[in-house]
Amino acid sequence: MTAADTLATLGTDGVTVRFGGLAALEDLTLELARDEILGLIGPNGAGKSTLINVLSGFQRVVAGRVHADDRDITGRLPHDISRLGIARTFQAVRLFAGLTVLENVAAGFSGRPVGRRAARARAQEILDWIGLGDKAQSIAGTLPYGDERRVGIARALATGPAFLLLDEPAAGTNEEDIPSLMSMIARIRDEFDCGVLVVEHNMGLIMGLCTRVHVIDHGRTIAIGSPRAVQDDPEVRRAYLGEDEM
Ligand SMILES: Nc1ncnc2c1ncn2[C@@H]1O[C@H](COP(=O)(O)OP(=O)(O)OP(=O)(O)O)[C@@H](O)[C@H]1O
Ligand SMILES: [Mg+2]
């Protein structure tokens, strides 16, 4: 049994991140449970990607801690966090453009005790599951943007995560393809037994998919609640004034 089999929660306690004089996150506490799809929303520059970076070991904190269950994982490096069962995608997709789709997904196994053949077989299974099985031999750099994002998700799933952190999975996706993306994310939670954190500006996706929504602005929490409750929250509405998302 690996740690990923048993992890039940992932979160931050009072985390602060600074870039020079700017506090990108300030005393921020977030909790993600294994059985939920948690939405993380906020205006541009609110600190959403920074928070995913903190949870996945890509960003150091100046105060506070990151925990998986009651284990303190603050300051652990990305590969170490990944091995614990925490996987992520990037806001700007990072695929190996010259490699095939299959090779990109199989790369999710790098550093693990999985042979090359087994990695490729499992990668093909995940691609079939995600609906990209017929593109396994395509060169990643030739894919439409929406498919690229799904390959990023497939690669994250290849690590067998307990938690999956998605940074704007709907970016570049046509509005008519949003419902299938939503049902795919819901199935990830159910079939991969995986807690999901989803950062999105697409409010239809957040409101239709998430069990709970955490709203931040200027690096601080301004609301946590059901999709309906945060949508009606005056402070959330104020934060989004001037933006048309809500
Ligand atoms: N590496 C960095 N160096 C300096 N400032 C940074 C860095 N990364 C992020 N920031 C700043 O920190 C703040 C939070 O950025 P972050 O990318 O986390 O926001 P976001 O909520 O993901 O925004 P968006 O919705 O536009 O993706 C912004 O003001 C951003 O300019
Ligand atoms: Mg971002």
The predicted-structure confidence for 17-52, as pLDDT tens digits, reads as follows 999 999 999 999 999 999 999 999 999 999 999 999
197/133 same-domain check: no
Is there a domain that residue 49 lies in? yes
Domain final residue pick, 144, 159, 174: 159
Confirm whether 140 is domain-assigned: yes
Buried b (16+ CB within 10 A) or exposed e, 85-110: bbbbbbeebebeeeebbbbbbbbbbe
Tell me: do 211 and 193 sit in the same domain.
yes
Is ligand 1 within 6 A of the CB of residue 43? Answer: no
Question: How many whole angstroms separate alpha carbon 179 and alpha carbon 186?
Answer: 11
Structure tokens at 42: 């906020």
240 and 130: one domain? no
Confidence of residue 108 (pLDDT cuts 50, 70, 90): confident
On whether both 69 and 110 belong to a single domain, the answer is no
pLDDT of residue 5: 73
Residue 90 in any domain: the answer is no
pLDDT at 1 over 80: no
In the structure, what pLDDT confidence band is assigned to residue 110 with cuts at 50, 70 and 90?
A: confident
Say yes or no: CB of residue 21 within 6 Å of ligand 1. Answer: no
Is residue 136 located within the same domain as residue 181?
Answer: no
Could you tell me if 78 and 127 lie in one domain?
Answer: no
Give the model's confidence band at 127: pLDDT under 50 very low, under 70 low, under 90 confident, else very high: very high
What does the pLDDT read at residue 3? 60
* Nearest atom within ligand 1 for CA of residue 47: 18
Are residue 199 and residue 110 in the same domain, yes or no? Answer: no
**Mean per-residue pLDDT, 198-216:** 96
Q: 153 and 166: one domain?
A: no
Number of domains in the chain: 2
Domain boundary among 137, 159, 181: 159
One domain, residues 112 and 55 = no
Quick: pLDDT tens for 134-191. Answer: 999 999 999 998 899 999 999 999 988 999 999 999 988 889 999 999 999 999 999 9
Q: Please write the tens of the pLDDT for every residue from 46-92.
A: 999 999 999 999 999 999 999 999 999 999 999 999 999 999 999 88
Among 130, 159, 188, give the residue marking a domain's end: 159
pLDDT value at 97 more than 70: yes
**What per-residue confidence (pLDDT) applies to 2?**
59
- Going by alpha carbons, the residue nearest to atom 24 of ligand 1 is 44
CA–CA separation, 199 vs 168, rounded Å?
5
CB of 49 sitting under 6 A from ligand 1: yes
State the pLDDT at residue 94.
82
232 occurs within a structural domain: yes
140 is in which domain, residue-wise? 95-159
> Do 115 and 132 belong to one domain?
yes
Same domain, 177 and 220: yes
Domain CATH code at residue 234: 3.40.50.300
Q: Which pLDDT band holds residue 115 (cuts at 50, 70, 90)? A: confident
- Is residue 244 over pLDDT 70? no
Residue closest via CA to ligand 1's atom 12 equals: 24
Q: Quick check: CB of 53 below 6 Å from ligand 1?
A: no
